[in-house]
Amino acid sequence: MSREKWIGLLPFYLLVVVLLLGAAHIGSDAITTIAESLPVQRERTIIIDAGHGGVDGGATSCTGVLESNLNLQIALRLEDLMHLLGYQTKMIRREDISVYTEGDTIAQKKISDLKERVRIVNETDNAILISIHQNTFSDNRYGGAQVFYANTDHSRELANLLQNTLISTLNNGSNRQCKKADGVYLMKQIENTGVLIECGFLSNPTEEALLRSDIYQKHICCVIAASVSVFIDNA
Ligand SMILES: [Zn+2]
């Protein structure tokens, strides 16, 4: 299917997801109950990676919030929405932890953590990885989401769709383009389709406040969930 047609379908998906968001207010247990009663159970597994965690907090925002915590909040919201859309999910982490399995020093634990994330992704057949991160930069004027893709089948198409949809819905006027994830261990080692989404800049005070807010986190998750669903339906 052409990209134009994908984009044409997006408003429909966004509407569906926004309607489902109402349900997101009633809590995870209720969402699980609703999701289990839905007739649709799709074949792809969505692996959601909340970047960093535990000893590795990632970046620190301009108000002192750790990236790892925001990544986890957004990842858990995304999990709910993907369930509501009928997808199985696998979470790399659901708490503030590093997922290392060995190592004594922090450096060794970080290496083990990365290898474990790769192992989880590569052991899952027919999966799509969505890795959630936040950006930061020395100049606090910079903002906007940016999507990076693995060098695996269809990752670039998914990243392109996500990037364009994030710009048209949340980052109007942004000229950011998706990029290959050079230098990111997880993205270089995975064999499945995968993208890493830097949701915004923690160094930009306006965007940082948005990224900490419930409503903006929900908006981001709506855009990601709708885009992933459109991508899968048209793959
Ligand atoms: Zn990060």
HEC sequence for the chain? CCHHHHHHHHHHHHHHHHHHHHHHCCCHHHHHHHHHHCCCCCCCEEEEEECCECCECCCECCCCCEHHHHHHHHHHHHHHHHHHCCCEEEECCCCCCCCCCCCCCHHHHHHHHHHHHHHHHHCCCCEEEEEEEEECCCCCCCCCCEEEECCCCCHHHHHHHHHHHHHHHCCCCCCCCCEECCCCHHHHHCCCEEEEEEEEECCCHHHHHHHHCHHHHHHHHHHHHHHHHHHHHCC
14-49, pLDDT tens digit by residue? 555 555 555 444 456 666 666 666 655 678 999 999
pLDDT, averaged across the chain: 89
How far is the centre of ligand 1, averaged over its atoms, from the C-alpha of 97 (Å)? 14
Low-confidence ranges of the chain (pLDDT < 50): 23-26
How far is the centre of ligand 1, averaged over its atoms, from the C-alpha of 15 (Å)? 30
Q: For position 26, what pLDDT does the model report?
A: 46
How far is the centre of ligand 1, averaged over its atoms, from the C-alpha of 134 (Å)? 5
How far is the centre of ligand 1, averaged over its atoms, from the C-alpha of 78 (Å)? 17
Global pTM? 0.87
How far is the centre of ligand 1, averaged over its atoms, from the C-alpha of 93 (Å)? 14
